Amino acid sequence: MEAPEQHNKSRVVKIDSVESWDFYFNQATNQGCPIVVHFTASWCIPSVTMNPYFKELASAFQDALFLTVDVDDVKEVATRMEVKAMPTFLLMKGGTVVEKLVGANPEEIRKRIDAVVQSNRVYVA
């Protein structure tokens, strides 16, 4: 039986450095695991309001890796991925970006994640 705390534990991994980013990116890619990234800024209300929902999505889609990147903390990654506005969501599979969503549209994000995860399952099978 799972301890109650497990349910509240966030599956979202906070990336705090370029090294951390490279590590998780490579690991997930090697494992054939889709990655969902939320680029956020602590001062940007549209992205901050998406944090709780992102945690929910992480719980709902256990087959994908969920990362959150603060564009001020890890500027290099934000620049590398050409993030110009927040929130920006990147869906990655097999080492490449398959979808880039700009803006906080909960329903649309969920649909896109679902599509990527589903297609991944079919491929693996």
Residues within the interface to another protein (CB under 8 A):
41, 43-49, 84-87, 102-105, 108, 111-112, 115
1 versus 122: smaller Cβ distance to another protein: 122
Q: Which is nearer to another protein, 22 or 115 (CB)?
A: 115
- Which amino acid makes up residue 108? E
Instruction: Output the smallest distance, CB 24 to another protein, in A.
Output: 25
Of 48 and 81, which CB lies nearer to another protein in the complex structure? 48
Q: Cα(12)–Cα(15) distance, rounded to whole angstroms? A: 9
Q: Are strands 65-70 and 13-15 parallel, antiparallel or unpaired?
A: parallel
Q: Closest separation between CB of residue 112 and another protein, Å?
A: 7
| Cα→Cα distances 4→7, 51, 57, 104, 107, Å | 6, 21, 19, 30, 28
CB 38 within 8 A of CB 8: no
Q: How far is the CB of 50 from another protein (least distance, A)?
A: 9
